Structure 1
Amino acid sequence: MKISQLEEKLYEIFIKDNFPVVIAINGEWGSGKTYFWQNIFLERYKNKLKDKKIAYVSLFGHNSLNDIKTDIILQISKTTKIISKIQDKVKNIKGMVFKEQDINISLGGGILSAGLSLLTVNDFKNVIICFDDFERLSSNIKIKDLMGFISNLKEQKNCKILMILNEEELKKIHKIQNTEKELDTFSLYKEKIVDYEFLFKNDIKDFIENHIDTKFNKNIILDYFYDYQINNLRLIKQLIEKANFYKDIISNITEKIQKDFIYLLFSILYLKKKYNLTSQEYYELKKIQDNIRIKNFMNSAGNDSNEEDTILTDIQKEQIEYLVDFANEDIENLIWQQLENERDIRNELKEDLEKLSLENQINQDKDKIMNNWNRLHLDFSYTIEDFIKDIKPILEKENVSEILSLSEYHFFVNFVEKYDKFDSEKIEKTIKKYIDKIVNQEKSISIHEESNIDLIRKHYPDLLNYVYDKKLETLIQNTTCKGLKELLEKVINGWGEKDQYILNNISKSKYKECIISNPAFVEVIIRFLKAKKRDDIYFRSAIKNILKVLEELEEENESYKFKVEKIFNVIGIQERIKKD
């Protein structure tokens, strides 16, 4: 029976109806029967049950029926009314002579439990008693006596009784103890006094969907517990409550990244909760897992590993089963920092997850375009209109320059425009983003994006001026003397087209500023000119501009003239460049 269905039945019996009743909930150990009663049903309906007296009796640990009776009296007597009533009854018993202090002293144990029979039906009005752990009942207590007592509570005291048990385990225990007669007695009484019996089946899906409050994707959580065969409801709720600390950081991440995070988070929480694992022990366990994986891979490839087999304890074998394969180490470290150092890492974690999510979404979008393009060629049920409908929203995304290369974007936009309209302003805006990206890449790496510039020149000629202006702004105008010095040092030994472009387009005024202000720059200029000379076809404009600056400085004053002549002598140039 589903948890929600059982909840409805118990609501009718314990809250809506006023009849005495005995109910049995039968289910496996660890399935969550007791947890369901105490933490779900009683908690959810505590307002409706506030006028009822509720006793919970675990039969485990009680050595006599009197112990059980005393336990019940003490639980349902939240005030002294019932105990006072027993005192009065004892005082009035004919033939018994007690002093006041004798009654007060002896009112416990046997007398208190014996006093249970002196109470009337009204004393047990609105009383619910739960008996748990039948399979752990002490051998000192006879099943017949216990079941007779339960029957009396129902028939004579009008109580509502709940019995929680694992009947399969009860059978095994009595078989081992060779007390099958006790089991026969139990079955006989159960048939007579139990009005309703419900089979409690651990329905994790129903439990998570109807009894768990979380912002995490419940389907992913459910998949995790199914995959790792975790079915203890109490533990499941504890893990989810612990995980809810992170619930506000997942709103903007893709389902794939959320799944990776949930699996990693619950794996760490589970290992820490069940095995009290520390981060050090966790990472040692991961190393063992990696070694096993490498060894298995080598063996599967036909290459015998020389390493000895790792000897694992039974506990380590269990623990490894709950490790997540190929977990993100940054996320992993942040989770452990929060668990062990109580440092609030949610902002960092949110930033990392959103970055991973963006990368994941980019990959998904690109895969979608390429897979659908392939499908368009092979699937006769998939039309051009279908393809355009699928990919056009991606082509219109603000970050499409991160999804496709410029040539890919141009290709697919050109294809779409053959069959459908495409906003020309949107295309121009996107191409400018590609240009920005190309120029910024040129700034950071030693390549010159000439092939992309050729594509722009051929298909988007109106944007060529934007290319030149952007390159001038990014590569030339923002260049500092320090950056220029480093670039000159670099090209003495090796260079790329980007380096050539920058040096040839730096203005004479910039070279002059750096020469005048920085002796170290002058030293590099000398080395550069010695290496390249005038006839270097790749840096002709740069050399020409530098030499012109030196000649201008030579004419400004005697001090400058002295320095420039020395420079020309060192580089081996005697003739001056003709003035423009």
Structure 2
Amino acid sequence: MNVKEREKRLEEIFRKKNNEGFAVAITGCWGIGKTHFWNKFFKEKTQEEKKIKEKFYYEASRVDFASAFENKKYAYISLFGIESIQDLKNAICTKLSTNPYVKEAPKRLEFSSLLKKSLEQFKDIKVSQYGVSASAKLLENLLYAQVKDAIICFDDFERLSDKLKIQDVMGLVNQLKLERNCQVILILDESKNDEENKKKYAEYKEKLIDDTIKITSVEPLIRVKAEEAEIDQPLIDLMVKFADELEIHNFRFFQKVIKLYREFLEQLPNEVAYWTKEIILVRILQGYFIEDFGQNLDINWDQFTRKSQFSAEVKKKHDKDHIGKDNIQLNLINSISPIFSQNDLWATEFKKWFEQKSSFDSKIIRQLVESDLIDDNYMKAKAKIDQLINNYKNYNLDSGFTKKLSSEIKKIIKFDVLENIEFYCSFLSEFDAQEEINQIDQLVKEHLQSAFHENHERMLKLYYWHEDQTQKYRKFIKDLLDDPNSFKQQEFLRILELYLYKGETAYGSEEVLYHMTKKHLENFIKDEYPSAFKTLSLKTICKKIIELYQLKQSQMVQTVKSWLKEIIENIGKSKGYPQHYINYFTEEL
């Protein structure tokens, strides 16, 4: 039964029993959207009736119209925090009013409003030796007498106070239904109550509840909130599929997803390709799923790679002991979108964001959005690679398989992560395609050489990203970084600035500091320091440089100290400064 069918069923109950009391339970998992379902239903049906009545020409027609919602008194009561039946009755009285979705409220409840205000004034009167104030008791009875022919909604049964017994609440519901002709809606998660309350509820349910509407999917709430956030329809469908396939029934999970998705999009250019939006949404779904369910389901970021996915499939085919050991949830996630198993730079940065183990770099995300990563040719090549590997899995190869695969791999070298390229090469090695592998290796090295000169910082990140892995290209990156001519003055400025103003050490600072020479340091003090850090004294700068070396290259500390002393002395002597003035800058180094 879908949402429309549930709404139709509930409306039929209201229409058929328009002038009768009844009780309907709306049940479902905690956070699935039961309250949202009821509020939306009540609002829409009220507005539908109001539009119908507005079309009537004669006032008599409006009066005679059999309204099931629009002209009813209404009270919504959360049971959370209510500790006695009398408190619950008072809550009904004080909350009872005209339908909140009718703009023009009739004046027939003015007397009740006056009584409510009076009750509010008397409710804090203390108990005395003569008992509860007779005035307050009288007002309570007068107000409760007004409770009839109304729609009353009770919510939060699972948060019921220990002092308020469920049988007492159900007894009151029975009275409202039979004696006061009220139509009562009960919103609850039947599985959340304690065992005693479950048993009592089950006893009353059979006698008291006329019908039950079960909410089994969080889809309606996802669609409403995602549309409000102006998320593309295909992405909303993806979230719904994620919820249904993985049986996530708590909207609070998707509330976090939608919020973070909007926050990321606000940091990006106004024009963002659909593919980019899908990648961002997938990474956020992936991150929160691992964060919320990963430990219990034995799922982590490292399992979302082409290599691990392919290895699991091979094991499943060839290892008899592996049969039945599949991670069902992991397989379901990968079936929802192929992006989940693509371990690219997007995955790297989002993993850092969720794990908060290292600095998340929003600049890289922005560069990825603006780069050719979202180019159609790249996406087509990735799709062809997937198709060729699927052909292998399905025992459907042709004679040109290795050449076709290597041809597509060459197209993605500039955009994909090295781990994926290495995996593809190891895959090709199973077919003795050494010539194709050599060609790919050469292209990778040429790309890394070019990338090194264009973006030294990113090369450092690539190197340290693969620090704990045996990457075949890592040695080549290290050789590039170890080249004494590779030192870049701008990298040193960046590292020093980050440490000075944020107290953080940057990616690859060990490599940059290692390649620092006395000449580089002298150029910095003479040329860059005055303009880059003019608000800080030279003495402070020198101390911070030494601190950096103590943290990242401790074996060079004494060498750097002697360099700094020599540089400062030479500068001082060339400018004719007195020796005591020079000593002031060097004595504490």
- TM-score relative to the length of structure 1: 0.42
Which protein is bigger by CA-based radius of gyration?
Answer: 1
- TM-score relative to the length of structure 2: 0.42
